[in-house]
Amino acid sequence: MIDKIKEHIAEVEKFTTQAKEDIENFRIKYLGRNGLLNEFFAEFRNVPNEQKKEFGQTINKLKTVAQEKVNALKEALENKAEEKGVYGDLTRPAQPIEIGARHPISLVKDQITEIFARIGFNVSEGPEIEDDWHNFTALNLPEYHPARDMQDTFFIQTNPDILLRTHTSSVQVRYMENNQPPIRTISPGRVYRNEAISARSHCFFHQIEGLYIDKDVSFADLKQTLQHFTKEMFGKSKIRLRPSYFPFTEPSAEVDVYWGLETETDYKITKGTGWLEIMGCGMVDPNVLENCGIDSKEYSGFAFGMGIDRIAMLLYQIGDIRLLSENDVRFLEQFKSAL
Protein backbone atom coordinates (compact mmCIF):
# COMPACT_ATOMS: atom_id res chain seq x y z
CA MET A 1 0.00 0.00 0.00
CA ILE A 2 2.84 2.37 0.83
CA ASP A 3 4.39 1.75 -2.58
CA LYS A 4 1.06 2.57 -4.20
CA ILE A 5 0.87 5.88 -2.37
CA LYS A 6 4.43 6.72 -3.49
CA GLU A 7 3.38 6.07 -7.09
CA HIS A 8 0.59 8.60 -6.66
CA ILE A 9 3.08 11.12 -5.23
CA ALA A 10 5.26 10.76 -8.33
CA GLU A 11 2.17 11.11 -10.53
CA VAL A 12 1.12 14.31 -8.71
CA GLU A 13 4.57 15.84 -9.08
CA LYS A 14 4.56 15.21 -12.83
CA PHE A 15 1.03 16.50 -13.40
CA THR A 16 0.66 19.77 -15.32
CA THR A 17 -2.15 21.51 -17.17
CA GLN A 18 -3.37 24.95 -18.23
CA ALA A 19 -7.06 24.10 -18.17
CA LYS A 20 -9.20 25.16 -15.24
CA GLU A 21 -11.41 22.05 -15.56
CA ASP A 22 -8.43 19.69 -15.41
CA ILE A 23 -7.16 21.41 -12.24
CA GLU A 24 -10.56 20.98 -10.59
CA ASN A 25 -10.79 17.31 -11.60
CA PHE A 26 -7.30 16.77 -10.24
CA ARG A 27 -8.28 18.39 -6.95
CA ILE A 28 -11.41 16.25 -6.62
CA LYS A 29 -9.46 13.09 -7.47
CA TYR A 30 -7.03 13.54 -4.59
CA LEU A 31 -8.50 16.10 -2.15
CA GLY A 32 -12.23 15.72 -2.67
CA ARG A 33 -14.60 14.15 -0.13
CA ASN A 34 -14.49 10.86 -2.00
CA GLY A 35 -10.90 11.30 -3.19
CA LEU A 36 -7.97 8.96 -2.95
CA LEU A 37 -6.61 10.58 0.21
CA ASN A 38 -9.73 9.75 2.18
CA GLU A 39 -9.55 6.19 0.89
CA PHE A 40 -5.96 5.87 2.08
CA PHE A 41 -6.79 7.35 5.47
CA ALA A 42 -9.64 4.80 5.80
CA GLU A 43 -7.10 2.01 5.23
CA PHE A 44 -4.94 3.26 8.10
CA ARG A 45 -6.72 1.00 10.62
CA ASN A 46 -5.80 -2.11 8.63
CA VAL A 47 -2.08 -1.29 8.47
CA PRO A 48 0.19 -3.31 10.79
CA ASN A 49 1.43 -1.35 13.80
CA GLU A 50 5.05 -1.43 12.71
CA GLN A 51 4.09 0.27 9.38
CA LYS A 52 1.66 2.87 10.75
CA LYS A 53 4.30 5.58 11.19
CA GLU A 54 5.69 5.27 7.67
CA PHE A 55 2.19 4.89 6.25
CA GLY A 56 0.99 8.06 7.98
CA GLN A 57 4.04 10.08 6.85
CA THR A 58 3.57 8.91 3.25
CA ILE A 59 -0.13 9.86 3.23
CA ASN A 60 0.65 13.30 4.65
CA LYS A 61 3.30 13.82 2.00
CA LEU A 62 0.80 12.95 -0.73
CA LYS A 63 -1.69 15.42 0.77
CA THR A 64 0.91 18.19 0.92
CA VAL A 65 2.20 17.57 -2.60
CA ALA A 66 -1.31 17.47 -4.03
CA GLN A 67 -2.37 20.69 -2.28
CA GLU A 68 0.78 22.54 -3.38
CA LYS A 69 0.31 21.34 -6.96
CA VAL A 70 -3.29 22.60 -7.03
CA ASN A 71 -2.27 25.99 -5.59
CA ALA A 72 0.62 26.37 -8.04
CA LEU A 73 -1.51 25.53 -11.08
CA LYS A 74 -4.26 27.91 -9.98
CA GLU A 75 -1.78 30.73 -9.38
CA ALA A 76 -0.18 30.22 -12.80
CA LEU A 77 -3.61 30.28 -14.41
CA GLU A 78 -4.60 33.48 -12.61
CA ASN A 79 -1.32 35.21 -13.54
CA LYS A 80 -1.82 34.31 -17.16
CA ALA A 81 -5.37 35.65 -17.10
CA GLU A 82 -4.21 38.88 -15.43
CA GLU A 83 -1.40 39.37 -17.95
CA LYS A 84 -3.81 38.84 -20.80
CA GLY A 85 -6.22 41.36 -19.26
CA VAL A 86 -3.50 43.99 -18.95
CA TYR A 87 -1.68 43.54 -22.26
CA GLY A 88 -4.28 41.87 -24.44
CA ASP A 89 -6.67 44.85 -24.74
CA LEU A 90 -4.92 47.47 -26.85
CA THR A 91 -7.77 49.94 -26.29
CA ARG A 92 -7.17 49.90 -22.54
CA PRO A 93 -5.84 53.26 -21.19
CA ALA A 94 -2.13 53.23 -20.40
CA GLN A 95 -0.83 53.27 -16.87
CA PRO A 96 0.05 56.81 -15.73
CA ILE A 97 3.79 57.52 -15.78
CA GLU A 98 5.20 59.35 -12.78
CA ILE A 99 7.18 62.34 -14.00
CA GLY A 100 10.24 63.22 -11.95
CA ALA A 101 11.29 66.73 -11.01
CA ARG A 102 14.67 68.41 -11.29
CA HIS A 103 16.11 69.87 -8.11
CA PRO A 104 15.83 73.67 -7.82
CA ILE A 105 19.62 73.87 -7.38
CA SER A 106 20.09 72.08 -10.71
CA LEU A 107 17.49 74.27 -12.40
CA VAL A 108 19.17 77.50 -11.30
CA LYS A 109 22.70 76.23 -12.00
CA ASP A 110 21.75 75.21 -15.54
CA GLN A 111 20.02 78.53 -16.16
CA ILE A 112 23.07 80.51 -15.01
CA THR A 113 25.40 78.27 -17.04
CA GLU A 114 23.30 78.75 -20.16
CA ILE A 115 23.32 82.54 -19.81
CA PHE A 116 27.10 82.71 -19.59
CA ALA A 117 27.59 80.05 -22.27
CA ARG A 118 25.85 82.36 -24.75
CA ILE A 119 28.58 84.97 -24.21
CA GLY A 120 31.48 82.54 -24.54
CA PHE A 121 32.07 81.13 -21.04
CA ASN A 122 32.87 77.44 -20.74
CA VAL A 123 32.39 75.27 -17.61
CA SER A 124 35.31 74.10 -15.46
CA GLU A 125 35.17 71.75 -12.48
CA GLY A 126 37.56 70.64 -9.76
CA PRO A 127 37.84 68.51 -6.62
CA GLU A 128 35.83 69.24 -3.49
CA ILE A 129 38.74 68.03 -1.32
CA GLU A 130 41.45 70.63 -1.87
CA ASP A 131 44.94 71.54 -0.70
CA ASP A 132 45.90 74.78 1.02
CA TRP A 133 47.66 76.18 -2.06
CA HIS A 134 44.70 76.10 -4.41
CA ASN A 135 42.11 77.10 -1.81
CA PHE A 136 44.05 79.87 -0.03
CA THR A 137 47.69 80.63 -0.79
CA ALA A 138 47.42 81.00 -4.58
CA LEU A 139 44.45 83.32 -4.03
CA ASN A 140 46.56 85.87 -2.15
CA LEU A 141 45.75 84.32 1.23
CA PRO A 142 49.10 83.17 2.66
CA GLU A 143 49.28 81.27 5.94
CA TYR A 144 48.15 83.29 8.98
CA HIS A 145 46.51 85.91 6.75
CA PRO A 146 43.66 87.43 8.80
CA ALA A 147 41.24 87.17 5.88
CA ARG A 148 41.32 83.37 6.26
CA ASP A 149 39.12 83.86 9.31
CA MET A 150 36.35 85.08 6.97
CA GLN A 151 35.84 81.45 5.96
CA ASP A 152 35.35 78.85 8.70
CA THR A 153 37.09 75.89 7.13
CA PHE A 154 36.81 72.12 7.52
CA PHE A 155 40.41 70.86 7.71
CA ILE A 156 41.42 67.19 7.59
CA GLN A 157 42.66 66.40 11.10
CA THR A 158 45.49 64.10 10.03
CA ASN A 159 46.77 66.56 7.41
CA PRO A 160 46.16 70.29 7.97
CA ASP A 161 47.19 70.99 4.38
CA ILE A 162 44.07 69.16 3.11
CA LEU A 163 40.61 70.67 3.49
CA LEU A 164 37.10 70.83 2.08
CA ARG A 165 37.08 73.73 -0.37
CA THR A 166 35.45 76.88 0.91
CA HIS A 167 34.78 78.35 -2.55
CA THR A 168 35.05 77.32 -6.20
CA SER A 169 37.81 79.88 -6.72
CA SER A 170 40.14 76.92 -6.24
CA VAL A 171 38.83 75.57 -9.55
CA GLN A 172 39.78 78.85 -11.22
CA VAL A 173 43.33 78.54 -9.86
CA ARG A 174 43.64 75.05 -11.34
CA TYR A 175 42.21 76.29 -14.64
CA MET A 176 44.70 79.19 -14.85
CA GLU A 177 47.58 76.84 -14.07
CA ASN A 178 46.68 74.64 -17.04
CA ASN A 179 45.39 77.18 -19.57
CA GLN A 180 46.78 80.36 -21.07
CA PRO A 181 44.72 83.50 -21.72
CA PRO A 182 42.31 84.35 -23.09
CA ILE A 183 40.36 82.58 -20.35
CA ARG A 184 36.60 82.77 -20.00
CA THR A 185 35.16 80.16 -17.64
CA ILE A 186 32.57 79.59 -14.91
CA SER A 187 33.01 77.11 -12.07
CA PRO A 188 29.86 75.72 -10.43
CA GLY A 189 30.07 73.36 -7.48
CA ARG A 190 29.45 72.53 -3.85
CA VAL A 191 31.51 74.20 -1.12
CA TYR A 192 31.82 73.71 2.63
CA ARG A 193 32.12 76.02 5.62
CA ASN A 194 31.96 75.28 9.32
CA GLU A 195 28.84 77.31 10.02
CA ALA A 196 25.81 76.68 12.21
CA ILE A 197 22.87 75.23 10.29
CA SER A 198 19.78 77.41 10.29
CA ALA A 199 17.02 78.58 7.95
CA ARG A 200 19.46 81.01 6.31
CA SER A 201 22.80 79.15 6.39
CA HIS A 202 24.21 75.65 6.02
CA CYS A 203 27.55 73.90 6.41
CA PHE A 204 27.52 73.16 2.68
CA PHE A 205 26.02 75.12 -0.19
CA HIS A 206 26.57 75.74 -3.90
CA GLN A 207 28.46 78.48 -5.70
CA ILE A 208 29.11 79.46 -9.27
CA GLU A 209 32.11 81.68 -9.95
CA GLY A 210 33.21 83.30 -13.18
CA LEU A 211 36.61 84.33 -14.50
CA TYR A 212 37.64 86.34 -17.54
CA ILE A 213 41.30 87.05 -18.33
CA ASP A 214 42.63 88.72 -21.47
CA LYS A 215 44.51 91.78 -22.58
CA ASP A 216 43.06 95.16 -21.62
CA VAL A 217 40.16 93.81 -19.53
CA SER A 218 38.64 96.64 -17.50
CA PHE A 219 36.14 97.17 -14.71
CA ALA A 220 33.72 98.45 -17.35
CA ASP A 221 33.79 94.99 -18.98
CA LEU A 222 32.91 93.46 -15.61
CA LYS A 223 29.97 95.80 -15.07
CA GLN A 224 28.63 95.20 -18.57
CA THR A 225 28.85 91.43 -18.13
CA LEU A 226 27.01 91.51 -14.81
CA GLN A 227 24.37 93.83 -16.17
CA HIS A 228 23.75 91.39 -19.01
CA PHE A 229 23.47 88.52 -16.52
CA THR A 230 20.94 90.26 -14.24
CA LYS A 231 18.82 91.22 -17.24
CA GLU A 232 18.75 87.63 -18.53
CA MET A 233 18.35 85.99 -15.10
CA PHE A 234 15.94 88.29 -13.32
CA GLY A 235 14.59 90.53 -16.07
CA LYS A 236 16.12 93.52 -14.25
CA SER A 237 19.01 95.57 -15.61
CA LYS A 238 19.44 98.19 -12.90
CA ILE A 239 22.44 97.25 -10.74
CA ARG A 240 24.85 99.00 -8.41
CA LEU A 241 28.35 98.07 -7.26
CA ARG A 242 29.34 98.87 -3.68
CA PRO A 243 33.02 98.88 -2.65
CA SER A 244 33.99 95.79 -0.71
CA TYR A 245 37.00 93.62 0.10
CA PHE A 246 38.08 90.21 -1.19
CA PRO A 247 41.70 89.06 -0.88
CA PHE A 248 41.90 87.82 -4.47
CA THR A 249 40.40 90.85 -6.25
CA GLU A 250 41.38 94.51 -6.24
CA PRO A 251 39.29 96.61 -6.49
CA SER A 252 36.38 94.52 -5.15
CA ALA A 253 32.65 95.16 -5.04
CA GLU A 254 29.32 93.75 -3.93
CA VAL A 255 26.66 93.65 -6.64
CA ASP A 256 23.08 94.70 -5.88
CA VAL A 257 20.17 94.45 -8.27
CA TYR A 258 17.18 96.75 -7.98
CA TRP A 259 14.37 94.31 -7.21
CA GLY A 260 11.66 96.89 -6.70
CA LEU A 261 9.00 97.39 -4.05
CA GLU A 262 5.87 96.20 -5.79
CA THR A 263 4.73 93.55 -3.31
CA GLU A 264 4.93 92.80 0.38
CA THR A 265 7.50 90.09 -0.39
CA ASP A 266 9.67 92.68 -2.15
CA TYR A 267 9.69 94.79 1.01
CA LYS A 268 10.62 91.75 3.09
CA ILE A 269 13.52 90.41 1.03
CA THR A 270 15.01 93.87 0.31
CA LYS A 271 14.40 95.18 3.85
CA GLY A 272 12.40 98.03 2.39
CA THR A 273 15.20 99.38 0.19
CA GLY A 274 14.31 97.76 -3.13
CA TRP A 275 17.94 96.66 -3.54
CA LEU A 276 19.03 93.04 -3.23
CA GLU A 277 22.61 91.80 -2.92
CA ILE A 278 23.29 88.91 -5.32
CA MET A 279 27.06 88.44 -5.65
CA GLY A 280 30.60 89.68 -5.11
CA CYS A 281 33.06 90.64 -7.84
CA GLY A 282 36.26 92.50 -8.66
CA MET A 283 39.36 92.73 -10.80
CA VAL A 284 41.72 89.79 -10.34
CA ASP A 285 44.62 90.74 -8.08
CA PRO A 286 47.95 90.72 -10.00
CA ASN A 287 49.44 88.49 -7.30
CA VAL A 288 46.88 85.80 -8.13
CA LEU A 289 47.77 85.95 -11.81
CA GLU A 290 51.47 85.63 -11.04
CA ASN A 291 50.86 82.71 -8.65
CA CYS A 292 49.13 80.88 -11.49
CA GLY A 293 51.85 81.56 -14.06
CA ILE A 294 50.15 84.42 -15.92
CA ASP A 295 52.01 87.64 -16.68
CA SER A 296 50.10 90.36 -14.80
CA LYS A 297 51.80 93.11 -16.84
CA GLU A 298 50.36 91.75 -20.07
CA TYR A 299 47.01 90.39 -18.87
CA SER A 300 44.24 91.54 -16.58
CA GLY A 301 40.88 90.06 -15.69
CA PHE A 302 37.79 90.08 -13.55
CA ALA A 303 36.08 87.49 -11.36
CA PHE A 304 32.67 87.18 -9.76
CA GLY A 305 30.90 84.67 -7.56
CA MET A 306 27.34 84.02 -6.40
CA GLY A 307 25.48 81.51 -4.25
CA ILE A 308 23.23 79.22 -6.27
CA ASP A 309 21.19 78.35 -3.16
CA ARG A 310 20.56 82.02 -2.45
CA ILE A 311 19.33 82.70 -5.97
CA ALA A 312 17.15 79.55 -5.95
CA MET A 313 15.56 80.69 -2.69
CA LEU A 314 14.97 84.10 -4.22
CA LEU A 315 13.47 82.88 -7.49
CA TYR A 316 11.25 80.18 -5.97
CA GLN A 317 10.45 82.02 -2.73
CA ILE A 318 11.94 79.28 -0.53
CA GLY A 319 12.06 80.40 3.08
CA ASP A 320 14.38 77.74 4.53
CA ILE A 321 17.71 76.70 2.97
CA ARG A 322 17.49 73.32 4.73
CA LEU A 323 14.67 72.30 2.38
CA LEU A 324 17.21 72.18 -0.45
CA SER A 325 19.09 69.26 1.12
CA GLU A 326 16.41 67.24 2.93
CA ASN A 327 15.12 65.34 -0.15
CA ASP A 328 11.50 65.81 0.89
CA VAL A 329 9.44 64.50 -2.05
CA ARG A 330 6.56 66.85 -1.22
CA PHE A 331 8.93 69.80 -1.65
CA LEU A 332 10.66 68.51 -4.78
CA GLU A 333 7.39 67.70 -6.59
CA GLN A 334 6.59 71.41 -6.68
CA PHE A 335 9.28 71.84 -9.36
CA LYS A 336 7.83 69.39 -11.91
CA SER A 337 6.48 72.28 -13.96
CA ALA A 338 9.95 73.85 -14.00
CA LEU A 339 11.55 71.08 -16.10
Q: What's the CATH number where 272 sits?
A: 3.30.930.10
pLDDT of residue 293: 94
Distance (Å, rounded) from C-alpha 189 to C-alpha 305? 11
Quick check: is 250 in a domain?
yes
Same domain, 143 and 181: yes
Question: Domain boundary at 34, 55, 87, which?
Answer: 87
Same domain, 177 and 255: yes
Quick check: is 255 in a domain?
yes
Same domain, 56 and 139: no
Distance (Å, rounded) from C-alpha 33 to C-alpha 31? 7
Question: Domain boundary at 52, 87, 122, which?
Answer: 87
Residues (pLDDT < 50) of the chain are 339
pLDDT of residue 269: 80
- C-alpha atoms less than 13 angstroms from C-alpha of 65 in its C-beta half-sphere: 18
Same domain, 134 and 173: yes
Question: Domain boundary at 87, 121, 155, which?
Answer: 87
Q: For residues 232-262, b (16+ Cβ closer than 10 Å) or e, as one string?
A: bbbeeeebebeeeebbbbeebbbbbbbbeee
Quick check: is 96 in a domain?
no
Quick check: is 230 in a domain?
yes
Same domain, 157 and 263: yes
Quick check: is 56 in a domain?
yes
pLDDT of residue 123: 96
Same domain, 108 and 40: no
Quick check: is 238 in a domain?
yes
Q: For residues 52-87, b (16+ Cβ closer than 10 Å) or e, as one string?
A: eeebeebbeebbebbeebbeebeeeeeeeeeeeeee
Same domain, 134 and 257: yes
Same domain, 68 and 203: no
Same domain, 68 and 147: no
Same domain, 313 and 200: yes
Quick check: is 200 in a domain?
yes
pLDDT of residue 26: 80
Work out how many domains the chain is built from and give that number: 2
Distance (Å, rounded) from C-alpha 15 to C-alpha 319? 67
Same domain, 108 and 83: no
Q: Which domain holds residue 230?
A: 104-338
pLDDT of residue 338: 53
Same domain, 27 and 129: no
**Model pTM score:** 0.68
pLDDT of residue 237: 83
List the 239-246 sheet strands across, edge first.
Answer: 122-123, 183-192, 204-214, 300-307, 275-284, 249-258, 239-246
pLDDT of residue 337: 62
Quick check: is 98 in a domain?
no
